[in-house]
């Protein structure tokens, strides 16, 4: 049921999702331009200023701009919480999801500050990125839930298909996590003096590629399985889109590796990671529908019969 909405929750949830994907891209820009310590301390930008200064140059502007995007994310998240609370009737799931997004944004900012205070420790930087992936999951769920009814979830595919998709989702998350490890072993650390994680880049890149091949294989198997059980066209389309995104991301990954990691391709690969994740979530959400709760039938108002007067004999 759509209910009464004082603020449009679904567009706000979409804005939150897009903004969090954008944060991944701007975070990549910070690292790829060597601006990770453009603001050398936290929460201030310098010891005496919360904002960048002219002396800090373009690196300070890039890092400070990325920090400011966090405030924009927070404002959108607060608006989502307010919109969810003001819905009539109020939906508990939407309130919880909106609060989850809001909770993780300041956590993301704190971890981002720790990355600066630890001079861009690659493991902390990796956690910083993975928190963005968690936020994207909650924002996507909020966006989809904001357009659903209040009825119980109705499965659209057989149970084994659900099991396959959940395995695929775990592998998709593993691909992203291994990508973080690969990033921590290579160049583009965000600052020329930043340390790396010490792992062999070729070895971790091969492990990452192996899991990518597994993900692509699972996705192809899913498409065939969905066609075999005559799944809804929207579900098949979501799986096909995921495969296309995976292939494009894999192509970018191979090209960037053999061309020695040019910054533009690395940035595109970072965006691709977020798109692979959202495409995976789209497949998960396409497996069921949640219709509106049918309105309870109203009882007919009983009709009271008026008694006919009994004729009397004279």
Q: Where are the domains of the chain?
A: 1-150, 151-291
Question: pLDDT digit string (tens) for 219-239?
Answer: 999 999 999 999 999 999 999
pTM summary value: 0.88
Residue 50 has pLDDT above 70, yes or no: yes
Q: Which of 112-126, 160-174, 222-236 has the lowest mean pLDDT?
A: 112-126
pLDDT on residue 52 = 83
Percent of the chain with pLDDT over 70: 91
Distances (CA, A) of 163 to 30, 170, 215, 239, 276: 38, 11, 14, 15, 19
Q: Can you tell me the mean pLDDT for 123-140?
A: 95
Question: pLDDT digit string (tens) for 268-296?
Answer: 999 999 999 999 999 999 999 888 765 45
Q: Can you tell me the mean pLDDT for 39-52?
A: 85
Distances (CA, A) of 95 to 9, 72, 83, 135, 306: 10, 20, 9, 15, 52
Residue 5 has pLDDT above 70, yes or no: no
CB neighbours of residue 253 within 10 Å = 23
Q: Can you tell me the mean pLDDT for 235-251?
A: 97
Question: Could you give the angle at which helices 9-32 and 263-285 cross, rounded to 10 degrees?
Answer: 150
Question: pLDDT digit string (tens) for 56-113?
Answer: 788 888 888 888 899 999 999 999 999 999 988 889 999 999 999 999 999 999 999 9
Q: How far is 191 from 193, CA to CA, in rounded Å? A: 5
Distances (CA, A) of 10 to 96, 115, 171: 15, 33, 29
């Amino acid at each position: 049921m759509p209910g009464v909405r004082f603020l449009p929750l679904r567009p706000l949830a979409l804005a939150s999702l897009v903004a969090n994907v954008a944060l991944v891209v701007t975070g990549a820009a910070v690292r790829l331009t060597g601006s990770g310590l453009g603001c050398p301390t936290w929460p201030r930008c310098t010891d005496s200023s919360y904002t960048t200064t002219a002396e800090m140059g373009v690196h300070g502007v890039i890092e400070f701009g990325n920090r400011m995007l966090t405030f924009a994310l927070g404002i959108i998240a607060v608006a989502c919480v307010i919109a969810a609370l003001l819905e009539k009737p109020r939906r508990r799931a939407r309130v919880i999801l909106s609060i989850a997004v809001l909770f993780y944004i300041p956590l993301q900012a704190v971890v981002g500050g720790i990355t600066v205070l630890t001079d861009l420790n690659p493991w902390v930087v990796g956690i910083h990125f993975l928190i963005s992936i968690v936020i994207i999951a909650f924002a996507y769920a909020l966006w989809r839930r904001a357009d659903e009814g209040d009825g119980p979830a109705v499965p659209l595919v057989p149970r084994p298909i659900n099991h396959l998709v959940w395995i695929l989702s775990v592998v998709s998350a593993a691909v992203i996590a291994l990508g973080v490890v690969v990033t921590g072993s290579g160049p583009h650390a965000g600052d020329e003096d930043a340390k790396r994680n010490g792992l062999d880049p070729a070895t971790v890149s091969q492990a990452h590629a192996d899991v990518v091949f597994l993900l692509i294989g699972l996705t192809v198997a899913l498409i065939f399985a969905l066609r075999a059980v005559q799944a809804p066209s929207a579900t098949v389309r979501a799986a096909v889109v995921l495969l296309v995104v995976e292939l494009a991301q894999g192509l970018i990954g191979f090209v960037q590796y053999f061309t020695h990691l040019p910054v533009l391709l690395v940035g595109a690969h970072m965006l691709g990671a977020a798109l692979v994740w959202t495409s995976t979530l789209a497949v998960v959400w396409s497996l069921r529908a949640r219709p509106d709760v049918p309105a309870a039938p109203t009882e007919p108002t009983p009709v009271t019969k008026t008694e006919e007067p009994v004729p009397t004999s004279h």
